[in-house]
Amino acid sequence: MTTGLFSTAPSVSNSPVLQRKPYNSTSIRCCKDSNPRVNLKLPHDDNCLVSFPEKNHYPSKQKPPRPRRIILVRHGQSEGNVDECVYTRVADPKIGLTQLGISQAEECGREMREMIEKDGADDWKVYFYVSPYKRSLQTLRNLAKAFEKSRIAGVREEPRLREQDFGNFQDQEEMKIQKAVRMRYGRFFYRFPYGESAADVYDRITGFRETLRSDIDIGRFQPPGQQSPNMNIVIVSHGLTLRVFLMRWYKWTVEQFEGLHNTGNGEILVMERGYGGRYGLLMHHTVEELKKFGLTDAMLIDQEWQKFAKPGELNYDCETTGPSYFTHFGEENKTM
């Protein structure tokens, strides 16, 4: 018989030696306690595993409401965006915003609040994930000026959202050579000496994506009893990191990633909950905006599907996961 993760082997003998009383693992005897038996009752889910207390607030198999949208924010203009020589003097994580970058972040916060308030909900809030780099933290602090304390559900500094590591920036001429080589080899797979490739960033973003999905599933963003479908998740990070995040979320191919462009400093991309519950870019952005970002017709068709699909559903007709990989389908059709 199997119980949870543990199993009890069937009896192989009727010998009294092998017949023992079942052990009660939830009973603990304490030598200094007058009560000889202390029962520990731990919260368990359907699999007999210790669960998050947030999940116990909801009836069995009912999940907390999904946030209304996931907002991706590229940091404001940094000193490195203006002059790459800065990287020869200052470590990448310590490079801050310019005055224009601060203004961009403040304007981003105002636009974000205006977008959220158009929903007409009274109980909306924002929850932030942020890269630990200085320019990202400064962007967060300045865009957050648009939100009073009661509207901010929380913030988490997330190292996996950091910028791609480009290696040794101290040798500026060598970096120019390496960036030129990257253009020949491709931006996704080329790894900078002592640094990362976009593929390396993909690996750590995969881990973050699973964390985010888990946080959504357990309702991490607000206490039990106070959770609302009008929560807005804000991710403050870097251009390439956000492109990789979208690539991983929507399962875009390497070729499709290569065609994407950075958003402007302090600009946002919005993944909004669609009619079926999935997050899609076309719920907020126009086709023209997404084409400018680099989405192909096949990617746009999939985004149209995302608007109406439910979580857990699969797009079996998606071109990027089917016919585009094969060259013989056309020949078969001609012979049929």
Residues labelled catalytic? 75, 163
Phi, psi (degrees; rounded to nearest 5) at 128: -110, 140
User: Annotation-wise, does 182 bind a ligand?
Assistant: no
Q: What Rg value do the Cα atoms of the chain yield, rounded?
A: 26
User: Annotation-wise, does 306 bind a ligand?
Assistant: no
- Measure the CA–CA gap between 287 and 81, rounded to whole angstroms: 28
* Residue from 206, 204, 130 nearest 160 by CA: 204
Beta bridge partners of 21: none
Q: Give the relative orientation of helices 99-117 and 134-143 as an angle to the nearest 10 degrees.
A: 50
- Measure the CA–CA gap between 101 and 107, rounded to whole angstroms: 10
User: Annotation-wise, does 74 bind a ligand?
Assistant: yes
User: Annotation-wise, does 135 bind a ligand?
Assistant: yes
Q: In sequence order, what DSSP letters do the residues of 247-290 get, joined into one string?
A: HHHHT--HHHHHT--PPPTT-EEEEEE-SSS-EESTTTS-HHHH
Phi, psi (degrees; rounded to nearest 5) at 49: -105, 145
- Measure the CA–CA gap between 111 and 7, rounded to whole angstroms: 57
- Measure the CA–CA gap between 213 and 217, rounded to whole angstroms: 6
Letter string b/e over residues 145-162, b meaning 16 or more CB atoms within 10 A of that residue's CB: ebbeeeeebebeebebbb
Amino acid at 253: T
- Measure the CA–CA gap between 166 and 195, rounded to whole angstroms: 5
User: Annotation-wise, does 81 bind a ligand?
Assistant: yes
* Residue from 251, 262, 213 nearest 233 by CA: 213
User: Annotation-wise, does 280 bind a ligand?
Assistant: no
Task: Note whether 266 and 77 are within 8 A (CB).
Answer: yes
Binding site for substrate, by residue number, is 74-81, 135
